[in-house]
Amino acid sequence: MLATIIVRLARALLAPPYKVIVTDCDNTLWKGICGEDGPAGVVLDPPRRALHEFLLEQHEAGALLAMASKNNEQDVFDTFAEHPEFPLQLRHFTAWRLNWESKVESLLSLGDELSLGLDSFVFLDDSPKECAEVEESVPEVQTLVLPEPVENTPHFLRHVWAFEDRKSTRLNSSHPSLSRM
């Protein structure tokens, strides 16, 4: 355990931080598919609420948030408008690619728009297939498949080294939404 703590601290102090967290929408930010279930048909269940709160905390700590989702843009906009109770809102996202292009194309486009290398990106998705395509095509992106069952999401987020705070030794497990799950 001590060795793990030392390695995590060294990584947090020496490795460059990830600057952009890119997330999928359907079954990642919310339960359901906004284009099929309609904006009112998606649900923010407790594990995904924890993800929202975690991403909001990362945003407040300086990370840029972006979305890459195979959706019609208006469906996603309508979903956020329909759910003012979501901790994350459109205003928290710096950029998005809401289209039917591959996630790889969307990530490349986001990198160009933000003038950042893809090695500064973390990509979150519930689809192992989408994540495998990203890992294969752009291995410099830190790609994370959200766990199954989704109830494991808060535990998962507490253990992702990429999200550790570089300016302190505290780990994200102190986040209230993660500790209560």
Q: Please, which residues bridge with residue 12 across strands?
A: none
Amino acid 15 reads: A
Q: Tell me: the pLDDT tens digits for 65-102?
A: 999 999 999 999 999 999 999 999 999 999 999 999 99
pTM: 0.84
Q: Residue 10 pLDDT more than 80?
A: no
Which tokens sit at 39? 């904006």
In 10 A of CB 18, how many CB atoms? 18
Side by side, the strands of the sheet bearing 142-145 are 93-99, 64-70, 20-23, 121-125, 142-145
Which pLDDT does position 179 carry in this prediction? 38
Q: Tell me: the pLDDT tens digits for 26-71?
A: 999 999 999 999 999 999 999 999 999 999 999 999 999 999 999 9
